[in-house]
Structure 1
Amino acid sequence: MEYVKLGATGLDVSKFCLGCMSFGDATRGFHSGWLLDEDQSRVIIKKALDLGINFFDTANVYAAGSSEEYLGRAIRDFANREDVVLATKCFFSDLPNGKSKPNNHGLSQKAIFHQVERSLKRLGTDYIDILYIHRWDYQTPIEETMSALNDLVRSGKVRYLGASAMYTWQFQKAQYIAEKNGWTKFAVMQNHYNLLYREDEREMIPFCRETGVGLAPYSPLASGRVVRDWIADTARSKTDTTAQSKYDSTQEQDMAIVKRVAGLADQYDVTRTQIALAWLWQKGIHSPIVGVTKEKYLDDFMGAFDLHLTQEDMDYLDENYLPHKVVGAL
């Protein structure tokens, strides 16, 4: 495994992060068609730890908190807490099947404190290494949100702050409010970024680089679309409506990029996944968040460390990209 400092922080993280959205109780959440139960999840978490992955990403909303429960129990059984970096998120409700009540979602002080306490209990830990705000809250003043997040850091319940899926003007506003008041700023951005979706290259990624914010994007393989034939049939491709909404409308232009990934993989005698990860690292990404449903995919990821793409390769992969409708920053 290789490790990298997460942006301008002193935090060492593995060069890919294990995303845990595929772990959880299928009766409690969305994506029930491809969720792994606890026994299956533990096998993958143990494999990740054995490979040296120390960075794990989950959220209160994933299968109504059962992803946090599975991850927390596995970490307690297989690792020392101080050796891992646990990231989770707040904004959405953690009630089963997308249900919600007043003040158990959003980014008010009350909602944030409530969800963090519940996440700590489910994870079975005294602190969260990185707490992300999962979305921008249009109903709550950003001053209230940043003040509450700062209080959590000062209390020791959270070590670092992260943000996810927003417009750059919103992220910059939040950072400005924190700096103006002497509060803790966001240290990491978890945005939507891969070979098929590169809209954040316009503003978000340059802003993060300029200000030392770590980059840990989600969906680095475009929910598998980058690394398999477009017509391939998987349980996730058939049931993941979120992924379908992100990529199916741009199928024709994206297929041209996927073909180039496949061709380059054949040329180097590597897998398409390794091409996609090497591309991300050479774009300056610190730790892309990869979700898996089988152990073998983790071994595949490890092969990317031996691959270096030339500038000609990078240009070849980038050439066919066309602007997409913004997805994620809602």
Structure 2
Amino acid sequence: MSDLYHPEPQQTVVEQVRFGKTRLFISPIIIDLKLSDLKTVDSYHEKQDKGFSEMIKYCYDRGLRTFSVDQDNGAALSNFLRRYKLPPTRVVIASRLEFPPAYNPEFTRAKLTKQSGFLRTYVFKRVKELLYGVGKHIDILEIASWDPTLSREELLSALTELVARGDVRYTTIRAKTVEEFKDWQQLAEKNNWTKFSGLQLTFGLFHSEFHKDKIRYARENGIGLLSCVPSDGGVAVKPSTTERRPAAPQRQNSVDLRFLNEEQHRAFESLQAIAERKGVARTVVLAARALMNGIWPMIGCSNVGHVEQALKAFQTHLTPQEWASLEVHLG
């Protein structure tokens, strides 16, 4: 095979969209590169050579050129660019910055002693690790979680420095409410720090009224909206009454059907019916619904089949009746 890039002939390419009011254009669906089907770390290179690079090329040829990566799977994207001699500017990279869990002893000790500079050091270390895997700057750095006992000033100052030196272009954060997001923006503006360019949601079947507020605010103020789309549609299927084995752990952000009210059950049944009628997965219906809300969904993919499913979101249109049947909120 030649090392030069050869696009597939007569292939429809997805148009890129502006991220909020920034200068950045992204694909309307972000591909979250998943290595979950790898049995061992040692098998990574074999898997990547046989299929993972092909999957990335499949995405690229179809205009899905925005990828959510970390220090592990970012190497696969870098290898793809080198293999086909493509400049790094031809793709957009999003990366998540998670903070350590509460039981992390070093982090807990730093918080208890109010150790100045620890958060800043942690942020720089994590971004350096991400860049090592990615091999270029990060276009969108997502603050995927936040501990309210930490210093917001220290985080914003560190992010501003990362943007200033070119390691990061834009930042987003997962805020609980519009007011919380406004507080972040006002603090940044007051100190001449980098403001957040986007908001992150979890747009499954069920969502709170706060989601509507954030979507409305983002539209009015040019804020980009990103949302992960749970692979199970955000709903954990109720186990059979004859099931004797203990229930499997629920996915993060999923909702157990056993704890839903009557209205929510009807919405889930409607989701199932719509997916079956259109011949797509529940994830595809929810991704299409996110797109119709002006939200750019992030969908996990580890093979070409997953990408083909994701692409169906562009052809999946909800009627007003179907839309209404899915508009239910968590109580």
Q: Which TM-score applies when normalising by structure 2? A: 0.76
What are structure 1's unaligned runs of at least 5 residues?
29-35, 60-64, 233-237, 325-330
Q: Is the 8 A contact 1:25 1:66 kept in 2?
A: no
Structure (1 or 2) with the larger CA radius of gyration? 2
Report the counterpart of residue 90 of structure 1 in structure 2. 97
The one-letter amino acid of 1:84's match is V
What code does the residue aligned with 2:305 have? K
Letter of the aligned partner of 1:90 in structure 2? L
Matches within 5 A, 1:300-311: 300-311=309-320
Structure 1 match to 2:114: none
> What's the offset of the Cα at 1:295?
1.6
2:324 equivalent in structure 1: 315
Matches within 5 A, 1:90-109: 90-92=97-99, 101-102=106-107, 108-109=119-120
Q: Distance in 1 between matches of 2:105 and 2:83?
A: 32
In the alignment, the residues of structure 2 paired with residue 289 and residue 121 of structure 1 have an alpha-carbon distance, to the nearest angstrom, of 23
Give the letter for the 1:118 counterpart: E
CA offsets, 1:209-234, max 9 Å, x none? 2321101101x2x32236997669xx
**1:296-317 CA deviation, whole Å, 9 max, x = no partner?**
1212222332333232221122
- Equivalent residue for 1:124? 135
Match of 2:159 in 1: 149
- For residue 73 of structure 1, the aligned residue among 75, 79, 97 is 79
- Deviation of 1:102 after TM superposition, in Å, equals 4.6
For residue 108 of structure 1, what is the amino acid of its counterpart?
A: L
- Pair 1:6-2:19 in alignment: yes
Which stretch has the larger CA shift, 290-299 or 72-81? 72-81
Change over 3 Å in CA distance of 1:217–1:305 after alignment to 2 = same
List aligned pairs for 1:177-216, cutoff 5 A: 177-216=187-226
CA-based RMSD of the aligned residues comes to 3.6
Q: Please list, as runs of the form range in 1=range in 2, the aligned pairs for 1:1-330 lying within 5 A after superposition.
A: 1-23=14-36, 38-39=48-49, 40-59=51-70, 65-78=71-84, 79-92=86-99, 101-102=106-107, 108-125=119-136, 127-164=137-174, 166-218=176-228, 220=229, 222-225=230-233, 241=249, 243=251, 246-248=254-256, 252-253=260-261, 255-268=265-278, 272-285=282-295, 287-318=296-327, 321-323=328-330
| 2: CA distance, partners of 1:76 / 1:177 | 41
Residues 227 and 273 of structure 1 are in contact (CA less than 8 Å); yes or no, is this contact kept in structure 2?
A: no
Q: Which amino acid aligns with 1:225?
A: G
C-alpha displacement of 1:82 = 0.4
Give the distance between the partners of 2:235 and 2:330, measured in 1 at CA. Answer: 21
CA contact (8 A) 1:16 1:53 kept: yes
Deviations 1:97-126 (A, max 9, x none): x977459x998221111211221112122x
- Structure 2 CA distance for aligned equivalents of residues 223 and 4 of structure 1: 24
Read off the aligned partner of 2:131 and give its amino acid letter.
Answer: L
- Whether the aligned pair in 1 keeps the contact of 2:95 and 2:140 (CA below 8 Å) is yes
- Deviation of residue 207 (structure 1)? 2.8
In 1: Cα distance, 2:93 partner to 2:105 partner = 25
SS at match of 1:161: strand
Instruction: Flag the 1:310–1:211 CA change in 2: closer, same or farther, 3 A.
Output: same
- Closer/same/farther in 2, CA of residues 246 and 47 from structure 1, 3 Å limit: same
Query: Percent of pairs identical after alignment?
Result: 27
Q: 2: CA distance between counterparts of 1:80 and 1:200?
A: 40
Rounded to whole Å, the distance in 2 between the matches of 1:37 and 1:165 is: 37
More divergent stretch after superposition (69-78 vs 208-217): 69-78
Task: Give the conservation status (yes or no) of the 8 Å contact 2:30–2:66.
Answer: yes
User: What's the counterpart of residue 115 of structure 2?
Assistant: none
Aligned equivalent of 1:32: none
| Cα 1:242/1:163, change in 2 over 3 Å | farther
Q: Counterpart of 1:235?
A: none
Structure 1 length-normalised TM: 0.76
How far apart are residue 144 of structure 1 and its match? Answer: 1.5
Q: Which moved more, 1:36-45 or 1:165-174?
A: 36-45
Secondary structure, aligned partner of 2:83: helix
**CA–CA distance in structure 1, aligned partners of residues 94 and 252 of structure 2:** 26
Q: Which letter maps to 1:14? A: S
2: CA distance between counterparts of 1:132 and 1:186? 10
Contact 2:171 2:198 (C-alpha < 8 Å) held by counterparts: yes
